[in-house]
Amino acid sequence: MGLGIDPTNDYVFRLAFGDPANSDLLIHLLNAILELPSPIVAVEILNPFLEQEFDYDKLAVLDIRAKDSTGRLLNVEMQTSLTAALRERLVYYVASLYSSQLCEGQPYSELNPTIGICILSVKMFPQISAGHLRFSLSDVAHGVELTSHFQIHTVELPKYNICAVDSASDKVGAWKTADEVVAENRKSPNQLENWALWFQRAEELDAAQLRELLPGAPYQKAIGILEMISRTPSQRDVYEARQKAIRDAAWKLHEARKEGRAEGREEGVRLGQIQLLQHLLNEPLSSASDLEGLTLTELDERISALQSRLQKN
């Protein structure tokens, strides 16, 4: 039986990486994603996770803001759904963090690089096979980067080919076998893929399976955090409450999109009716952009007016 704890849950994510006591895990995750020429060796978490202040009824973006020993500012967040204007929000967060560094009169030369990282449990760019994408300010045509001061990284977990559990045998195996993962880790550890395994499969794997697959000290500590949550009633209660809130939010988003698609179909039908009536009246045909912003009631009124004119002809 698996641990039953999903690390993409924002409570688990903040507890594992936003607690100063676990800054070593945050450093390891950052280095696995960024692969900087000079690895991060220390971080200060600017908004440390305080469990007693965690509001599990409030659904909000719970990012982790940190500064490394070179002054780089980092914003790390977990996303389990593609919310509206997510790309724009990622840009806004990094831009806000970057611009907040200077007080009046300070020179621009004192600005430090700012990096945003969004880890997603869904695909944001399905047309691209790579799981990790880095965005920066650059000239697309000539491939010239303006500055490395402003970066946004996305990590799409579903794109990583990692282990799953065979429900029939209760053994690791559906994609890569356990032996393959262990052998790869001994030969050339892929730290980001290992974290992707932890994020995606910890809920269904048991602690022994995870510890065999991820022998490194950071992963072992992260597995211990999941075990602690699963065995501590108060933490398990918070986790379950957050899971319910996340499921409810996902359901509401699904219903809103379904309603929007239905409304879009209704608008399409009305547009067709309007254009047909205009054609019969020898009037210029309206386009979708001409009618943009009108409610279904207003569209119906437009149709009624056209029908009345047609009957009079």
Q: SS3 of 59, please? A: coil
Q: Quick one: 213 and 273 in the same domain?
A: no
Q: What is the DSSP string of 253-268?
A: HHHHHHHHHHHHHHHH
pLDDT at 68 over 50: yes
Last residue of a domain, one of 184, 199, 231: 231
Residue length of the chain: 313
Q: What are phi and psi of 31, to 5 degrees?
A: -65, -35
pLDDT tier for residue 171 given thresholds of 50, 70 and 90: very low
Q: What value does the mean pLDDT take over residues 70-87?
A: 90
pLDDT at 264 over 90: no
Identity of the highest mean pLDDT range in 78-92, 243-257, 275-289: 78-92
Pairing of strands 114-120, 144-156: parallel
Q: Quick one: 101 and 38 in the same domain?
A: yes
Helix 233-280 to helix 296-312 angle (10° resolution) is 10
Domain assignment present for 245: no
* Predicted local distance difference test score (pLDDT) of residue 144: 95
In 4-102, which ranges are E strands?
Answer: 43-45, 64-68, 73-79
Q: Quick one: 128 and 260 in the same domain?
A: no
Number of structural domains found in the chain: 2
Q: What are phi and psi of 193, to 5 degrees?
A: -65, -35
Q: Quick one: 216 and 176 in the same domain?
A: yes
What range does the domain containing 284 cover? 254-312
Q: Quick one: 217 and 273 in the same domain?
A: no
Domain assignment present for 55: yes
Q: Quick one: 226 and 286 in the same domain?
A: no
Q: Quick one: 198 and 112 in the same domain?
A: yes
Domain assignment present for 4: no
Instruction: Please give the order of strands across the beta sheet that includes 43-45.
Output: 43-45, 64-68, 73-79, 114-120, 144-156, 132-139
Answer with the residue of higher pLDDT: 133 or 105: 133
pLDDT at 164 over 60: no
Domain assignment present for 237: no
> Would you say 66 and 21 are in contact if contact means Cβ atoms under 8 Å apart?
no
Helix 217-231 to helix 10-17 angle (10° resolution) is 130
- How many C-alpha atoms does 37 have within 13 Å on its Cβ side? 2
Give Cα 155 to chain centroid, integer Å: 8
* Predicted local distance difference test score (pLDDT) of residue 167: 43
pLDDT tier for residue 195 given thresholds of 50, 70 and 90: very high
Domain assignment present for 169: yes
Give CA–CA dist 302/310, Å, rounded.
12
Identity of the highest mean pLDDT range in 30-39, 187-196, 275-284, 299-308: 30-39
Instruction: Give the residue among 84, 153, 80 at the shortest CA–CA distance from 113.
Output: 153
Residue with tokens 């500590």: 221
pLDDT at 217 over 90: yes
Q: Quick one: 155 and 276 in the same domain?
A: no
* Predicted local distance difference test score (pLDDT) of residue 200: 92
4: number of Cβ within 10 Å:
15
Q: What value does the mean pLDDT take over residues 242-251?
A: 80
Q: Quick one: 193 and 292 in the same domain?
A: no
Q: Quick one: 178 and 270 in the same domain?
A: no
Q: Across-strand partners of 180? A: none
Q: What value does the mean pLDDT take over residues 153-175?
A: 63
Torsion angle of C-alpha atoms 127, 130, 134, 137, degrees rounded to 10 = -40
Give CA–CA dist 31/182, Å, rounded.
21
Domain assignment present for 241: no
pLDDT at 84 over 90: no
How deeply is 88 buried, as exposed, middle or buried, from its count of CB atoms within 10 A (0-12, 13-18, 19+)? exposed
Last residue of a domain, one of 163, 196, 231: 231
Percent of the chain with pLDDT over 70: 82
